[in-house]
Amino acid sequence: MSVTPPIAGREAELERLMQQHQPLQSSICPERFQSLRSAFACALHMHQPTIPAGADGELISHLRYMFEHPGEGDNHNAEPFAQCYRRLADLLPELIQQGCAPRIMLDYSGTLLWGFEQMGRRDILDALRYLACDPLMQQHVEWLGSFWGHAVAPSTPIPDLKLHIQAWQHQFAALFGSEALSRVRGFSPPEMHLPNHPDTLFALVKALRDCGYQWLLVQEHSVENLDGSRLSSAQKVLPNRLIARNSNGESVSITALIKTQGSDTKLVGQMQPCYEALGLGPLPLGERQVPPLVSQIADGENGGVMMNEFPAAFIQAHQKLRDQPSTAALNGSEYLQLLQIAESDYPAIQAVRQQQLWQQLGDAQGPAAVDAAIARCQALDPTFSMEGASWTNNLSWVQGYENVLGPMQQLSAAFHQTFDSQMHHDPATTQTAPYQEALLHLLLLETSCFRYWGQGTWTDYARELHRRGEAVLTAQTPPSPR
């Protein structure tokens, strides 16, 4: 059995750390920012799941499985993928030496980071540590938080959302240090999957706020204005204020940057955000005219475009900007810091389809009232759904996966029944091996990959993770007295 990764035990310490928002370094002064006509931000998403497929069922990274089974599917790309995970450590210094000012945001799942450690890939980890910790790189690289196990939020048990967020913070701090973690201000939801059920969205946004995050990236068609209308062209390139209201009427909000268009790696692979930004000019926000920000994210390694075309396109785009001083590459937190505009002045938005729900709900409150309102919405509109929205509308992480979702719910319920009361009386419970081993299996079971590739090997992996998680929890439950 693999050694448990660092995913718990420092909750209070890291929460205090993440609430201390020191100013971030930027090579752009406020005067230079105000002279910009436009800007763009690109993020790369990197992920490999952990699967029970090593010797004797050992938990291993799917990247290692690719290396060990090169004849299956696209597994021959294992080393090209591995190089994609580290190559920004080469591309950025090259551009800086040429007088360019490159920017990139990086989103690595916790399972992928753990996989690098398990595989002993010091070359990748050293490159990532350079990108996370080097003083110069801090002006060019922004790390985004995510769910440790690459779970999709709408169908993840609500109590587990914060566990994924905290586990990722633990993993990142263990690898790169607390100071590097303190600079992680933005959050990238796996699959760009934003919940639209009021209680799930509220729990997610509240957990993000509790864990110190200041903004998150959302897909344009996963949100709407408060009147139910689509976002305007201007809103898509400006920050918005995502409002999450739960079934009891409580609300919380967080800044949202909008990822435009659907899932297409060419958008980043060929640096489309840069060329779109070159055609834009200042827009009104609050009482000022500000440069818009075109925001985009794509898989950083998956597909021929990202493996082969992205490096040259990334270099070419930043070289072009040397002669275009009115447009700049900026990272999300850097842009928001330079704006110096209060979140309350951003346009207010909510999750898609919520206006229909509020109309049916009226003044009623409570989970039962929301359930009844959802049922009325579905009766009136068969397309109405509270499954959330992601980078694509033609894929469900719920339909046809009852054999994974049921065990997920069961393991989550058993986990919280076993440990929540213990944690209430003794927060140090999260430092114990039984807690961390049970948490590991819970977070792994909720990985989106087990509900992406259809029935077969991947759902079998999920069943095995559920079995092992149950075994860990059973060992913690004292036998009933006769």
More confident residue, 480 or 238: 238
pLDDT band at 1 (very low <50, low <70, confident <90, very high): very low
Give the model's pLDDT for residue 481. 44
> Each residue of 95-137: pLDDT tens digit?
999 999 999 999 999 999 999 999 999 999 999 999 999 999 9
Q: Is the pLDDT of residue 482 over 50?
A: no
Determine contact, residues 255/240, Cβ cutoff 8 Å. yes
Handedness of CA 344, 345, 351, 357 (dihedral sign): positive
Determine the pLDDT at residue 223.
97
Q: Give the rounded percent of residues in the chain with a pLDDT score beyond 70.
A: 95
Question: In which residue are the tokens 């240090």 written?
Answer: 177
Indicate the CATH number for domain 14-350. Answer: 3.20.110.20
Q: What is the mean pLDDT of residues 38-65?
A: 97
The confidence score (pLDDT) of residue 126 equals 98
Q: What angle do CA 356, 361, 362 make, to 5 degrees?
A: 105
pLDDT of residue 11: 97
Q: What is the pLDDT of residue 175?
A: 98
- The predicted pLDDT at position 451 comes to 79
Question: Taking Cα atoms as reference points, which of 273, 296, 341, 343 lies closest to residue 33?
Answer: 341
Q: Is the pLDDT of residue 230 over 90?
A: yes
Q: What is the largest CA-CA distance in the chain?
A: 81
**Calpha distance 52→61 (Å, rounded):** 9
In angstroms, the CA 332 to CA 294 distance is 10
Nearest to 208 by CA among 168, 240, 247, 180: 168
394: pLDDT strictly greater than 70: no
* Residue 386 burial by Cβ neighbours in a 10 Å radius (0-12, 13-18, 19+): buried
Tell me which amino acid residue 152 is: V
Evaluate if residue 290 carries a pLDDT over 50. yes
Judge whether residue 443 has pLDDT over 90.
Answer: yes
DSSP 245: E
- Cβ pair 459, 408 in contact under 8 A: no
C-alpha–C-alpha distance, residues 340 and 330, integer Å: 15
Cα separation, 339 vs 104, in Å, equals: 19
In sequence order, what DSSP letters do the residues of 232-246 get, joined into one string? PTTGGGS-EEEEEE-
- What span, in angstroms and rounded, lies between the C-alpha atoms of 460 and 17? 39
Q: What are phi and psi of 283, to 5 degrees?
A: -130, 155
Q: What does the alpha-carbon distance between residue 104 and residue 296 come to, in Å, rounded to a whole number?
A: 11
DSSP state letter for 2: P
Per-residue pLDDT reduced to its tens digit, 458-469: 999 999 999 999
- In this prediction, residue 149 carries a pLDDT of 97
pLDDT one-digit tens code per residue, 250-286: 999 999 999 988 667 788 999 999 999 999 999 999 8
Q: What CA dihedral angle connects 393, 441, 60 and 78, to 10 degrees?
A: 10
What percent of the chain is modeled with pLDDT above 90? Answer: 84
* Tokens of residue 230, six digits: 């689509």
Domain locations along the chain: 14-350, 399-475
Residue carrying the six token digits 């864990």? 211
Q: Which two tokens stand for residue 53?
A: 């497929």
Residue 63 near residue 78 (C-beta atoms within 8 A) = yes
Average the pLDDT over each of 25-29, 52-56, 114-118, 219-223 and give the range with the smallest value: 25-29
Residues contacting 342, CB < 8 A, separation 6+:
286
CA–CA separation, 215 and 227 (whole Å): 22
Helix (H) or strand (E) holding 409: helix 402-425
- Residue identified by tokens 């980043």 is 268
Say how far residue 367 (Cα) sits from the centre of its chain: 27
pLDDT(2) > 50: no
- 19-33, 143-157, 163-177: least confidently modelled range: 19-33
User: What pLDDT score does 391 carry?
Assistant: 65
Chain segment 176-218, per-residue pLDDT in tens: 999 999 999 999 999 999 999 999 999 999 999 999 999 999 9
E strand intervals along 198-292: 215-219, 223-225, 240-245, 251-259, 283-285, 288-290
Residue 433 confidence (pLDDT): 95
With a cut of 90, say whether residue 396 has pLDDT above it: no
Q: What is the three-class DSSP state of 294? A: strand
pLDDT mean across residues, the chain: 93
Q: Cβ distance 163 to 62 under 8 Å?
A: no
Looking at residue 388, what is its pLDDT?
A: 77
- pLDDT digits over 311-361, tens only? 999 999 999 999 889 999 999 999 999 999 999 999 999 999 999 999 999
